[in-house]
Every structure is written in structure tokens, then in C-alpha cells.
Structure 1
Amino acid sequence: MTPGARVQAAIDILDVIGAGQPAEKALTNWARGARFAGSKDRAAVRDHVFAALRRWCSAAARGGAPTGRGRMIGLLRGTGTDPASLFTGQGHAPAPLDAAEALDPGMPADRLVALDCPEWLAPSLETSLEHRFEPVMKCLQERAPVFVRVNTLRGDPREAARRLAEEGIESRPSALSPTALELTANARRLRQGQSFAEGLVELQDAASQAVTDLLPVENARRILDYCAGGGGKTLAMAPRTGGALHAHDIAPARMADLPERAARAGVEVTLHDPRSIGGQGRFDLVLADAPCSGSGSWRRAPEAKWTLTESRLRALEAMQDEVLHDAAAHVASGGRLAYATCSMLRSENEDRIDTFLERNGGWTLGKQVRFDPLDGGDGFFLAILTKC
């Protein structure tokens, strides 16, 4: 595919997304019908689509229309590319710009449009992020870095960086966590390499690793990851503890890949479903990485910024209260309850901890930590409570 043809493919996909189809489904359906597209073509089209999703409003304003075509025109202008160089009408490229499209209106005058911030959510984000609001929103318009976690049961970060380099993958250390390496070139090769296959490295955001680094695992004999999902934090805890690791999720299917990942990493994890967890007794540390808006990871999943609604946010907050309540029941006397989200909103973070403490006696709050994309990784929150 020519560069222009890739832009036209992105335009078509963006129009499907604009009509209501989820982004991943729209990309999958396009790929199935575009058998002429090679792996590099599919990656380039995907990059165009996700870049446009990150700048959904500002690109439409800069391109003159809330359509796939308008958004790609605006996106190209925003990244310093003259759209006329790709909108040629040749070789499956988009038709040339008309007179109106050829006029660049410049950056949107509306502050929230320019920042690609949903209007209804702006007050909460500004309250939560304070003076970091604008720089964080600008950061969310860019692509997120790719990080791996070095599994120190298999090797150290220096060895991992060397092995990755042998596989053609460039990396550098992250200041957020001693086990985090940022992949700076050829990150898409990772899953085909031996360092990944042998469990030396796992994909995991650096801020997620930093949160796990802060968990008090060293003296915990029994540890429960209550909302384990794929088990990234479960596996990240393993090298720092000799305690028994247990994983639970209300939807056990989310843990389907965890046994294979644990075996690759050389880690033993006991899995529990909602029916079996009640008979497991109490744990010294319970991690509740609760379902949330995902606002801290909107660079990676930009569609979520635009599909989140006020009613959905309120439902998530109620769910977070329920998760905290249920997870607390599994904490032993003197044990710790760690609450985490990948949200930047106070209503999902500090407010939920305040509500829990108001409703439940016998707990003390220790550490509370926030990360946002300006720190280098995703946005995360962590609070650690102790059961008296």
C-alpha cells in the first residue's frame, strides 16, 4: 500500500468508528477484507486510526469536518505534514483537497477541543490534576511509550537489555521502576523473540510496575490479587516475595492466560473463582486493582475517553466501593489492603478511600501515591490500608 492508500484506509475505518462501531472491531473487519495489506500496512493504518482517536475533536476541527476524511486532514496538519502531499487521488489515495479543505483554520480556539478533553469530564479532571491538567491532556494526545518488566527470577535488567538488543529491539531503563525497560525501537518484534518466550520480559507499563514495587510483599506469607485479570501485578510481585501467591477475579475467564504466563515466568500461582475464594481464609496482603475509567491509560486506549459517560462513571464508583468492601473481608488482622486504579480521577481514587474509611472502622490509611503520564508511564493510583 502507498502512504496515501494507508490514509484512505484509515479514513474508511474512522467513519465506521464514528458511526458507532468499536475501534478494534472496525480494524479487525478492515484487515479481514484487506488481504492485500501486509503487516507493515496494517500497523501503519492502525497507527493512523489510534492517532486520530487521541485527537478526535482537535483533528476534526483542524480538518474542517467530524468525518474520517476531516480527521485525517486535521491529524496530518497537527503533525506537520501537508495533507495535499497524500490526498492526491492516485493509487487508492484520498481525493485531492477541495478549496475549503485546503484552508487551514489553525489550532482550535476552544480550549477543551484543543486539548481533546470531553467537556462533561473537564471539571473533574481539572480538580484531580490541578496545575498538571493541561500538560497531562496534551500528553494524552501522543502515543504511549512501550515498557517491559524484567523478570528478575530469569535475569537482571542489564542482561535483558542485552538479549533484547540481540533480537533487534532497542531499550533504555526507566526512572519509574528498576525492573522497567522502555522499548525505543522495534517493539512490535517483542512477542516473536526468545527473551519474551522464555519469560525474561513481560509487557507492563512502568507506572504499573512502580505501583507493584510499593506493595508491602516482603513479610507477607499469603498474598491475594483480588482483581487479577491477566495477572500482570501478580507475576510482578513474585520475585520480591517468598509467600504464596493467589489470584482471583469475579470473571474467571480474564485469568485464562495466567497459568501459561506464570509457567513462562517460573512462578506458582493458585487461581480462585468467586465460588472458591470464600474458603481460603485470610491473607496478609490483598491487592484490589479495581475496574475503573482507565483515564490513566487513555494514550493506549483513546476510544475509552470518548465512550465514557457520567452514568458509567457513577456505576464504576459504586463497583469500586463494592470491590473494596469485598476485598477487605479477606484481609487478616494486621494485614494490608492495597487499592489501585489506572484512573486519574479523585472520584475513583481518594474519594473511594475516604468513603471506605467512613463506612468501616478498624482501618488506618498509610501510603497514598499518584502517577500521571507526565511521570513517564500511565496514570495510576495506590492507597495502602492496614487492618487494626
Structure 2
Amino acid sequence: MTPAARFQAAAEILDQFLSGMPAEQCLTRWARNSRYAGSKDRAAIRDIVYDALRCKRSYAHLGGAETGRGLVLGALRSRGADPTQYFTGERHAPSALTPLEATYTPAPMPELVALDCPDWLAPDMKTSLGTDLAPVLESLRQRAPVFLRVNLARISREHAIAQLAQDGIGALPHLLAPTALEVIDNPRAIQRSRPYLDGLVELQDAASQAVISELPDVQNQTVLDYCAGGGGKALALAALGAKVTAHDANPARMQDLPNRAARAGAKIALSEQPEGKFDLVLTDVPCSGSGSWRRSPAGKWSLTRNALDQLHLAQMQILDNARLHTRPDGWLAYVTCSMLKSENQLQIANFLDRAPEFELVKERQLTPLEGGDGFYLALLKARAA
């Protein structure tokens, strides 16, 4: 495919997204219907689409319309490219610019448009981030780095770097966590590499790894990962010697975990109805995902005030349920990939009002300015019996 044809395909995919279809479904449907497209074409089109989703407001402003065509036009203008080189109408390229498009001059861009922030969410973000608001929002407009977690139960970071290099993948240690590597070269080869297939490394954000490194020593401790999802944190805990039980309200989310655990050489029990009490209960709760919007940018535009309120209720209920599984003198860890105080500090303050047997021992708020995604951790200690 020519570069122009890729832009046209991206515009069509973006139109489907704007009509209400999930972004990944749009990309998958296009790929299935476009067998002629090679892997490089699919990767390039995915990049165009995701860049446009990260920068939807500003690209629409520059392109003159919140349509797939308008977003692609805005993307080209944002990088100083000449759209007429691509909007030619030839060989599957976008049709030539109309006179209105060719002469369109964008008005001065409002700050929230330039930062690609939904208007309704701006006060919450300002309250939560303070003077970091603009740099954090700007970081969410960029592509996220690719990180790996080294399975230290089986290999050191240095040896993992060396083995990745043998497969043409460049990686460096990252300061956020002792297990973290940042991939600096050839990230698309990771899932075909021998270290990945052998369970020596896993894809996991560095901030997510930093959360695990903040937990108390879990070696030989019983741990309940109460919202396990795909099991990334369960695997990280098992690598540290924990006796892990994984649970999720939707067990289907854990369907790949047994194979991932086998690949990593880890033992993880899956439970649809966990019983008893544990030394540590980890609750990586459903949240707005505001800390990971550069990876999942569609979430920034689909979030509503009502949806956020529903998330607050779910988080409260999960904390109350997890409380029942925490043994006396045990630990309860509350984690989000959010940067909103309403999901983080305020949620914990309200929980402590309901649960006086717990005390807050530690909390940490990470933002993309530190390299990884935005994450929050509150580590709570239960009073001894």
C-alpha cells in the first residue's frame, strides 16, 4: 500500500470508530476485509489510527471536521506535511482536497483542545494533577514506551537484555522497578522472541511493575489477586515467591492465565469464589484508565460522568469485599491505573471511615512524567486480632 492509501484506510477505520464501534474491532474488521495488506501496512495504519485517537480534539480542529478524513487531514497538518501530496484521489488515496478544505485556516486553538482533554473532565484533572496538568496531558498525546517485566525467578535483567539482543530486540533497564526493561529497538518482535516464548519476560508497564515493588515481602505468603484480569500482577507476585490465588468477577478475563503461568514456570490457583483470609489481598480495581490513555486512547473519549460515578461504586464495593478476605495483621493493596483523586485518595479516605480496623501505611501516585503509565497504590494494614 502507498502512504496515501494507508491514510485513506485509516480515515475509513476512524469513521467506524466515530460511529460507535470499538477501535480494536474497527481495526480487526478492516484487516479481515483487506487481505492484500501486509504486516507493515497493518502496523502503519494502526499507528495512524491510534495517533488520531490520542489527539482527536486537536486533529479535528486542524482538519476542520471530526470525521475520519478530518482527523487524518489534521494529523498531516500537525506535523507540517503538505496534505495535497496524499489527498490526490489516485490509487486508493483520499480524494483531492475540496476548495473549502484547501483554504481552511484553523482558529487559535483553545488550551484544552490543544491538550486533547474533554471539557467536562478538566476540573477533575486539574484538582488531581495541579501544576502537572499540562505536561501530563501532553504526555498522553504521545505513544507510550514498550516495557517488559523480567521474570527474576528464572533470569537476571542483564541476561534478559543479552538474550533479547540475540533476537534483535534492544532493551535497557528502567529506574521505575528492579524488574523493568524499556524496549528501545524492534518492539514488534517481542512476542516472537525466545525470551518471551520461554516465559523469561512479559509485557508489562513499568509503573505497574513499580506498584508490585512497593508491596511488602510476599515470599511464601498467601496472596489473593482479587481483580486479576489477564494476570500480569499475579504472575509478578508468583515470581517473587508468593502463593497466589487469582480471582476475577468475569472469569473469562483469566482464560489465558494458565498458559501464561505455565510458560513462566509459575503456580497460580484460579478461583471463581475465593474463600478464607490471605496475608495480602491485591485489588487492581476497574477504573477510568486515565493513567493509560496513551495506550488505550478511546477510553478518554468514551468516559462520561455517569460512567465515572458507576466506577466509584464498583471500587467501593470491591474494597468492602476484599476487606473480608484480609487476615488480621494482613495487608490490603488498592491499585488503579488512574490519576483522578476521586478514584484514588478520596476512595481510600472513605474506605478508612468505613473500616477503622485498617490504617494507611503507604500511598504512591505515579504519572507518565516518570516514564510509565499513571498508577496509584494505597497500601493498608489490618489491625492484629
Instruction: Specify the TM-score bucket, using the shorter chain as the normaliser.
Output: over 0.9
Deviation string 1:220-251 (CA, Å, 9 cap, x unpaired) is 6211111111110111122323x411111111
TM-score norm. by structure 1 comes to: 0.96
Determine if the alignment matches structure 1 residue 36 to structure 2 residue 44.
Answer: no
Deviation string 1:179-211 (CA, Å, 9 cap, x unpaired) is 111111211111111110100100000000000
Contact 2:361 2:380 in 1 (8 A): yes
Which one-letter code corresponds to 2:36 in the other structure?
Answer: F
1:89 CA displacement: 2.0
Determine if the alignment matches structure 1 residue 264 to structure 2 residue 263.
Answer: yes
Determine if the alignment matches structure 1 residue 302 to structure 2 residue 297.
Answer: yes
Residue correspondences, number: 383
SS in 2 for 1:100: helix
Pick aligned residue for 2:313 from 303, 311, 318: 318
Match of 1:348 in 2: 343
5+ residue gaps, structure 2: none
Instruction: Report the Cα distance in structure 2 between the residues aligned to 1:362 and 1:379, rounded to whole angstroms.
Output: 29
Which one-letter code corresponds to 1:383 in the other structure?
Answer: A
TM-score norm. by structure 2 comes to: 0.97
1:105 CA displacement: 3.2
Determine if the alignment matches structure 1 residue 55 to structure 2 residue 55.
Answer: yes
Instruction: Report the Cα distance in structure 1 between the residues aligned to 2:306 and 2:291, rounded to whole angstroms.
Output: 19
Match of 2:223 in 1: 223
Task: Out of 76-85 and 351-360, give the one that drifted further.
Answer: 76-85
Match of 1:251 in 2: 250
Contact 1:217 1:237 in 2 (8 A): no
5+ residue gaps, structure 1: none
Determine if the alignment matches structure 1 residue 284 to structure 2 residue 283.
Answer: no
Instruction: Report the Cα distance in structure 2 between the residues aligned to 1:106 and 1:217, rounded to whole angstroms.
Output: 56
Which one-letter code corresponds to 1:178 in the other structure?
Answer: P
Deviation string 1:302-350 (CA, Å, 9 cap, x unpaired) is 0010001110000000000000000011011100100000011000000
Contact 2:238 2:268 in 1 (8 A): no
Instruction: Report the Cα distance in structure 1 between the residues aligned to 2:110 and 2:364, rounded to whole angstroms.
Output: 33
Percent identity of paired positions between Structure 1 and Structure 2:
52
**Equivalences for 1:2-17 in 2 at 5 Å?**
2-17=2-17
Match of 2:172 in 1: 172
1:219 CA displacement: 5.8
Which one-letter code corresponds to 2:68 in the other structure?
Answer: G
1:104 to 1:78, Cα distance in 2 relative to 1, 3 A: farther
Contact 2:230 2:255 in 1 (8 A): yes
Instruction: Report the Cα distance in structure 1 between the residues aligned to 2:338 and 2:74, rounded to whole angstroms.
Output: 29
Instruction: Report the Cα distance in structure 2 between the residues aligned to 1:105 and 1:358, rounded to whole angstroms.
Output: 55
Instruction: Report the Cα distance in structure 1 between the residues aligned to 2:107 and 2:379, rounded to whole angstroms.
Output: 43
